[in-house]
Chains A and B, each alone.
Chain A
Amino acid sequence: MTNPYLPIPYKILEVRQETDIDYTYKVAYSGQLIGGQFMEISIPGVGEAPISICGFDDKSLEMTIRKVGRLTDQIFSLKKDDTLYMRGPYGNGFDLEKFRGKDVAFIAGGTGLAPVRKTIDYFIRNKDEVKNLEVLIGFKSPSDQLFVDDIKRWSVDNNITVTVDQGDENWTKETGLITKHITKLDLSDVKNKVAVVVGPPIMMKFTTLELIKKGFQEENIWVSFERKMSCGIGKCGHCKIDETYVCLEGPVFNYVKAKTLID
């Protein structure tokens, strides 16, 4: 009998600082992954938490972790060559087929960029697989920016908009909430345009409402949810909304389904 709860030790290959409270961990890993899936990561004796996979290749995966509590505080003391315990991957992730050949906009707020980072990066590298690609990213302030190097690289030849709620004297990009910048997207064929919206609950709510107001079809909008999770495998009950288990059927949902979910 296999025991799905057993955490497996993996080696940390690299630790990169993103902000004062966000670090990216690259871990040795090989196995099938889909962008937007998550791992249950843990430190024995401290705790366990779901964390999105924000990048991967054949030999490694990356996760960007924000320091917010008991476990994530302890994770911050881990260094290159230390051991990180994980089990997974869990969840559905972003199915690339849903976006191939389409005019797609990725809209991400704050740490919400982590779960879509891999999918954005894939289409930036394989631009011929989509009809059109646009990215709209919002952070609270310039010092909250994540994946600065990626964004720089993505921006070279693509329509990437970065905005902060509140800029400072050195800020040269956009300011204001994400919803204000939706008009910057190419809306010429909005009825067929696909949008992926990931971020804090309040950001996802107002952004999806704004998209619909601008003429997006509900079935063309995708979101990714975060809920409390203890197991990741459909047993503990914490992530359940109505008859839906976010860890099993999500965290990525089509808006047609997502809008019916009442916590």
Chain B
Amino acid sequence: MGYKLSNTGFNEYIQQLKERYRLFAPVLESKKGKFAQTDVIAYGEIEKFDDMILESKSYYSPKEIFFPIRETLFYFMKDTIETPKINEKPVIIFIRPCDLNGIRRLDSIFLKNGEEVDFYYLRRRELVKFIMIECLEGFDTCFCVSMNSNIALDYDAVIRVEENVVSLKVVDDKLEAPVLSNTDKVEFEPEFIKENKVKVTIPNVDLVSKETFNNDIWKEYTSRCIACGRCNTSCITCSCYTMQDVKLSDDKSIGERRRVWAGCHVDGFSDMAGGHNFRDKNGERMRYKTMHKVNDFYKRFDEHMCVGCGRCDDVCPEYISFSKCINKLNEIVEEGKNYD
């Protein structure tokens, strides 16, 4: 059903949803930005419509709401193992189409890669519903159209936010609320962005060869990338993590096992006992990430991992552009084709 609400009306809708859900949206977080002491937009719980920041892109993605940066898997107490309880109040995430498509990529890894289902991911993920935010303009670094992720249809509700009106379409009946029954009913279908300023061409996966891996373009990143891992942490689709055991008491009888986000750009990602490390140079790590995002994942799941949200470009302190990198990759693959 479609509705047209005033800002106050929409805020009332939010208040009514809050009785049953925890609501997450982009909010302003002070002093956590790229440069010291700057503010940053990240996903946080909102109290009211005004808390939502829609005029800029969120620096961090919403993935941490159900894939936390650090998560306790279980506690050990002498001979017992206990899985911690989580807040089971359902969650609504206000999300742009690119990120909604990104979440399908996370689902692929955690729920469909291999035979096992990730218990910790699923139990949080099952609590989530999505209210999509129509996004017609995008931002400077976005390239969702090239990645076919500008259009998302698996939302539970969708909103269009204009000067003084909010249009709403509710797909999942659970997101209906009393305030909507005395609201103007309208036909509302979301539209999608058709063109970004930034465009990329993804090379055909069948043309990527061993030569692509050994090409000199990756060397540039060895001198530029400082392996800070911000591109990994901000990315909606980066899903890697590392286990960490911690002792919580001196006599070793109480401890916990956690998982924490890991990034393939960061030192130690591939270190094995014996001091063997597989991608010593930062350029090799850039190559590894790039191939995962626009080549390898596709071979397993028939869609590219990268959704073109552009956050990796926004956050890189060395101004490394991932979209430029993809285009360079395409150039060398095209050149390779001519040699054959």
Contacts and interface: CB of A to CB of B under 8 A. Distances in A.
B105 to A, nearest CB: 13
Task: In the A-B complex, list the 9 residue pairs whose CB atoms are closest, starting with the nearest.
Answer: A45-B255, A234-B114, A237-B240, A44-B76, A263-B278, A243-B296, A3-B119, A243-B299, A234-B113
Interface string A131-154: 000000000000000000000000
Contacts of A242: 291, 296
A45 B76 contact: yes
A235 B118 contact: yes
Given A44-B255, A237-B262, A69 B245 contact: no
A262 interface: yes
A contact face: mostly helix, strand, loop, or mixed: loop
B242 A230 contact: yes
B213 A262 contact: yes
B241 A44 contact: no
A9 B255 CA distance: 16
B243 A235 contact: no
A172 interface: no
B113 A248 contact: yes
Contacts, number: 126
B contact face: mostly helix, strand, loop, or mixed: mixed
B243 to A, nearest CB: 5
Interface string B284-304: 100010011001110110000
B299 to A, nearest CB: 4
A226 B277 CA distance: 11
A69 B273 contact: yes
Contacts of A6: 74, 81, 83
Contacts of B256: 45
Interface residues of A, number: 42
A37 interface: no
Nearest to A202: B276
Nearest to B255: A45
Contacts of A247: 114
A16 to B, nearest CB: 21
Given A227-B272, A236-B262, A47 B245 contact: yes
A245 B112 CA distance: 13
A2 B122 CA distance: 11
Which of B76, B256, B257: most chain A CB closer than 10 A? B257
Contact of A260 (B113, B210, B241, B243): B210
B114 A5 contact: no
B119 A236 contact: no
Contacts of B292: 240
A184 interface: no
B185 to A, nearest CB: 40
B247 A45 contact: yes
14 contacts: A3-B83, A4-B118, A5-B119, A45-B76, A45-B252, A45-B255, A46-B255, A48-B243, A228-B271, A234-B114, A236-B241, A236-B242, A236-B262, A240-B292
